[in-house]
Amino acid sequence: MLPADERFLSLVDAIYAAAVDETLWPSVLEGLTAISKSQPSSLRILEDRRPGHDRGSDTRHYSVDTRNAGDRLQSSVALHRTRAKSRCGPNEADQFAILFRHVEHALEIGFRLGTLGNLQQATFDLLNRNPLAIVLLDDRGRVILANGTAQKLNAASDGVRISAEGLTLAHGADNRKLQRCIVDALNGPRDISARPGGTLWALRPSGKRSFSILVSSLSQGSFTMTSVRPAVGIVIADPDQDEVLPIERLRTLYGLTPAEARLAARLSAGDTLKSAAAAIGIGYATARSQLAAVFRKTETRRQGDLIRLILTTILRLPS
Amino acid sequence: MTSLHGGSDGIAISSLIERIYEAALDESLWPDVLSRLNAVTDSQAATFWVLDSQDELKLPTFGYVDFDPAFVQEYLDLMAPHDPVNQYLAAHPGERIVRDSAILSETERDRNLLYDWQARKAETRYRVVGTISPMPFVQSGVALHRVRTKGDFEPAQVEQFGLLFRHVGRALEIAFRLGSFGNLQQVTLDLLDRNPLAIALLNDQGQTIFANRTARELRSDEDGVLLTGKGVRLSRASDDRRLQGLITDALNSARDVRTGPGGTMLAPRPSGRRALSILVSPLAAAPFAIAALRPAACVVIADPERSEEPPTQRLQALFNLTPAEARLAARLAMGDELKSAADKIGIRYQSARALLAAIFHKTATTRQGELIKLLVTAVPLIGI
């Protein structure tokens, strides 16, 4: 086999195809095995530096290519030959050397794409579970990303509409203000310290409390060869978001009884002690003694303090 | 002419292919790739570019070899939108290999604005272009140019360019994928850094692979939370056992499909400050096996003592409050009672009561609890 013949070139092509799609590595290994007349071949990602030879198999000789992909992490491709076939000859070793250079490049690309892809998935997962609605727009105002809460807002059709073309509000005057804020953010200074950050309210057809919206420009990505140019970040807060009272979390975190947790949740929704007691259907005196227990267990002393504790810790944790 | 099938040049081709993929990771290597493509296809100049055709034709990224810099500058400043090849590419985004001889005949070329200009400024006249379209209205590729005296490309050279462009095209796709991942990454990590909660990402071994700004601050507090590359620990042994148990649970369920929301616990602090609320949760399974980082779980820590006074300017803007009203509202949002809020600001209780009445009116609230809830939830502190 010469480095320029058809089989060589198509194997090189397959190697780089695997760089972009890691599920193709097995067929690359098959190709390497066939072309080098060796028996099994393997791709390993090692978490330490002990590349041991497989026991219990009849392979004896192997060529191995490893590359360091990071601290304490290396990957290798090994071609194995059985004892009967003997070692690789010098020509075969040269061929491997050339082919393995391509494997090395392909693994480096694969590691970079994979690492970024994995981090991406994790940060998206967290973003998705943020209780605030978060929408990212590109430099043309088109939606790049709308997190789970934002998609719920869209589905609720209560004044906020998110489509591929962008973010719009049902109320005409509010929408004009939003679009102006977005244009300002698109044209605004990209310097972090000088970010404008416009705020506005969005009236809701349902008559619930208006959404509060924060629009601000994002730091420009440093990559020019890209299909994604995030430019504007929008956060939408729903002050009326009471559907999910954090009763379960109050119980598990602070050890509140079900009754205490119900009361604390009502207070954090803005009720007074009296209206909370009435809503739950308990007497005022009972509510007072339950509140005393809640104060003790949450290490708070005043209702304002308690409400703040619940809103800033429990309600902010990812769903 | 060099051929892909002529064995002795095999090493050169193999090393050119390597170079192409190195350029996928390092944009500065494209000129070297262009020079080698020139040599292999007997062309005299070459360019590498991104073509944006959303509005008018633009070339936001442009590299070249063997052209005069002044010629390129004038081309980019004035001529690029009039280039019939650019216009053709924008109208035919699916085509991969394009020759200008297929777009314009020799006589049409003589009457064309761009080719007329080119004839006066440079010797090049024939072009073969390879291009990919990573997204609508965006194309990227390389163009090889031949001088008039050499004549147009031979079919065999075009075929050869086509074979090599398989790799160039893939390298460009890789560069775009990395660039897209990279830009999104910057934004999402930036968002995590602005989150008032401390967030740490753990790999499948429980080792910390990312800690946001609040988590890094929490670590420097040295108040019960130990955050190292090895993982997240709590200083009190019984609490730590509980945390490690939650982490193990999260890692085990992370290996299956995503299960429930994870576990929560309270961690008292040696300083006596209020306990931290901790959530440990599995993350969606990492999609790539070939990767240096595989996030598997997250630890999210909320600190009830973290001072987060809403910015008074934002309160003023949102609720149309006066500066004095906004200062009072900010204290109330921090959990203060009216009296202690008035003391801290340095106003009398009577004035504070009057200000509060105005705040109730402007925020359409009637009770302090309701007001606190509105202030805390409607003023997003994640402030991107």
Give B24-63 pLDDT, tens digit per residue: 999 899 999 999 999 999 999 999 999 999 888 999 899 9
When pLDDT is averaged across residues B189-217 and rounded to a whole number, the result is 91
Distance from CA of B165 to the nearest CA of A (A): 11
Nearest to B231 by CA among B222, B219, B221: B219
Chain A residues lying within 8 Å of B134, measured CB to CB: 227
Distance from CA of A183 to the nearest CA of B (A): 16
Chain B residues lying within 8 Å of A16, measured CB to CB: 17, 21, 167, 170
Flag whether pLDDT at B290 surpasses 90.
no
User: What pLDDT, on a 0 to 100 scale, did the predictor assign at position A55?
Assistant: 47
Chain B residue with the nearest C-alpha to that of A126: B283
State pLDDT tens for residues B80-129: 999 999 999 999 999 999 999 999 999 999 899 999 999 999 999 999 99
User: What pLDDT, on a 0 to 100 scale, did the predictor assign at position A54?
Assistant: 46
When pLDDT is averaged across residues A210-216 and rounded to a whole number, the result is 88
Q: Out of B188, B317, B376, whose CB is closest to A199?
A: B317
Beta strands in chain A (DSSP E): 41-46, 59-70, 73-82, 133-138, 143-146, 160-163, 166-169, 198-202, 211-217, 230-237
Cβ contact (<8 Å) for B188 and A303? no
State pLDDT tens for residues A61-108: 555 566 565 555 566 777 666 666 666 666 667 777 888 889 989 999
Chain B residue with the nearest C-alpha to that of A25: B290
- How large a percentage of chain B has pLDDT more than 90? 64
User: What pLDDT, on a 0 to 100 scale, did the predictor assign at position A68?
Assistant: 60
Flag whether pLDDT at B335 surpasses 70.
yes
Lowest mean pLDDT among A29-43, A116-130, B168-182: A29-43
User: What pLDDT, on a 0 to 100 scale, did the predictor assign at position B190?
Assistant: 85
Give the mutation candidate from A223, A232, A314 for the B interface (greatest B CB count, under 10 A): A223
User: What pLDDT, on a 0 to 100 scale, did the predictor assign at position A88?
Assistant: 61
Cα gap A113→B291, rounded to integer Å: 8
Q: Out of B10, B195, B335, whose CB is closest to A304?
A: B335
Distance from CA of B133 to the nearest CA of A (A): 10
Half-sphere exposure of B72 (CA within 13 A, CB side): 15
Cβ contact (<8 Å) for A121 and B283? yes
Flag whether pLDDT at A18 surpasses 80.
yes
More confident residue, A229 or B65: B65
Q: Residue A48 — pLDDT band, cuts 50, 70, 90?
A: very low
User: What pLDDT, on a 0 to 100 scale, did the predictor assign at position A56?
Assistant: 47
Task: Give the A:B interface size as CB pairs under 8 Å.
Answer: 319
Chain A residue with the nearest C-alpha to that of B183: A221
Distance from CA of A83 to the nearest CA of B (A): 31
Distance from CA of A35 to the nearest CA of B (A): 16
- How large a percentage of chain A has pLDDT more than 90? 38
Cβ contact (<8 Å) for A4 and B4? yes
State pLDDT tens for residues B365-381: 998 888 988 888 776 55
Average pLDDT, chain B: 89
Cβ contact (<8 Å) for A3 and B10? yes
Domains along the sequence of chain B with CATH: 7-180 (3.30.450.80), 194-302 (3.30.450.20), 312-382 (1.10.10.10)
Cβ contact (<8 Å) for B21 and A106? yes
When pLDDT is averaged across residues B175-185 and rounded to a whole number, the result is 92
- How large a percentage of chain A has pLDDT more than 70? 76
Q: Out of A116, A121, A268, whose CB is closest to B284?
A: A121
Lowest mean pLDDT among B161-165, B167-171, B188-192: B188-192
Distance from CA of A166 to the nearest CA of B (A): 16
Cβ contact (<8 Å) for B286 and A112? no
Flag whether pLDDT at B297 surpasses 50.
yes
User: What pLDDT, on a 0 to 100 scale, did the predictor assign at position B26?
Assistant: 92
Q: Residue A189 — pLDDT band, cuts 50, 70, 90?
A: low
User: What pLDDT, on a 0 to 100 scale, did the predictor assign at position A82?
Assistant: 66
Cα gap B274→B223, rounded to integer Å: 11
More confident residue, A39 or A59: A39
Contact with chain B for residue A140, Cβ under 8 A: yes
Chain A residue with the nearest C-alpha to that of B320: A200
Q: Residue A192 — pLDDT band, cuts 50, 70, 90?
A: very low
- Is the entire prediction scored with pTM above 0.90? no
Chain B residue with the nearest C-alpha to that of A223: B179
User: What pLDDT, on a 0 to 100 scale, did the predictor assign at position B37?
Assistant: 95
Judging by DSSP bridges, how do beta strands B276-282 and B225-228 pair with one another? unpaired
Contact with chain B for residue A252, Cβ under 8 A: yes
Flag whether pLDDT at B259 surpasses 50.
no
Chain A residue with the nearest C-alpha to that of B382: A235
Nearest to A207 by CA among B371, B373, B364: B364
Cβ contact (<8 Å) for B288 and A239? no
Contact with chain B for residue A244, Cβ under 8 A: no
Cβ contact (<8 Å) for B382 and A235? yes
Flag whether pLDDT at B350 surpasses 90.
yes
Judging by DSSP bridges, how do beta strands B208-211 and B198-203 pair with one another? antiparallel
State pLDDT tens for residues B311-323: 788 788 788 899 9
Q: Residue B161 — pLDDT band, cuts 50, 70, 90?
A: very high
State pLDDT tens for residues A117-134: 999 999 998 898 888 899
Flag whether pLDDT at A60 surpasses 60.
no
Between residues 78 and 97 of chain A, which touch chain B (CB distance below 8 Å)? none
SS (H, E, C) chain B: CCCCCCHHHHHHHHHHHHHHHHHHHCHHHHHHHHHHHHHHHCCCEEEEEEEECCCCCEEEEEEEECCCHHHHHHHHHHHHHHCHHHHHHHHCCCCCEEEHHHCCCHHHHHHCHHHHHHHHHCCEEEEEEEEEEEECCEEEEEEEEEEHHHCCCCHHHHHHHHHHHHHHHHHHHHHHHHHHHHHHHHHHHHHHHHCCCEEEEEECCCCEEEECHHHHHHHHHCCCEEEECCEEEECCHHHHHHHHHHHHHHHHHHHCCCCCCCEEEEECCCCCCCCEEEEEEECCCCCCCCCCCCEEEEEEEECCCCCCCCCHHHHHHHHCCCHHHHHHHHHHHCCCCHHHHHHHHCCCHHHHHHHHHHHHHHHCCCCHHHHHHHHHHHCCCCCC
Chain B residue with the nearest C-alpha to that of A75: B290
Lowest mean pLDDT among A117-126, B139-148, B257-266, B278-287: B257-266
When pLDDT is averaged across residues B192-201 and rounded to a whole number, the result is 90
Cβ contact (<8 Å) for B382 and A101? no
